[in-house]
Amino acid sequence: MAIEVGQEAPDFTLVDENNEKVTLSELRGTPVVLVFFPFAFSGICTAEMCGIRDDYSSWMAKGAKVYGISRDSRFVQAVFKEREGLTHSLLADLKGDAAKKYGVWNEAVGAAERATFVIDREG
């Protein structure tokens, strides 16, 4: 089951496309948008990530940090980000640990369901 509105966001640490660790709890004080998607380079996921790219200035104007999260490796994420000209960071959730904490892991597919979580400054 996905987390509920008002529930504290589960913490996690994942690496981004540059192998930099991102820990959600260290971002307290900043609005964060987590966009779980199944696979880089698939048609719908690419359109979704490009949509975020195209509207990125709206998120920036609100001071939000936006992260796309999939089970792809950081190497795949880096190529995906470069090829599509993405402006937001991509996080590698290789075993689906973060997706499971948020209740969006699809065991049958072995990937996250598409889901977006907007987290306020308090987490």
Angle 42-109-15 from CA coordinates, rounded to 5°: 65
Q: Any idea which residue has 């996905």 for tokens? A: 2
Residue numbers annotated as active site: 45
| Rounded Cα distance, 9 and 69, in Å | 15
| Rounded Cα distance, 38 and 111, in Å | 5
Six-digit token string for 38: 């199944």
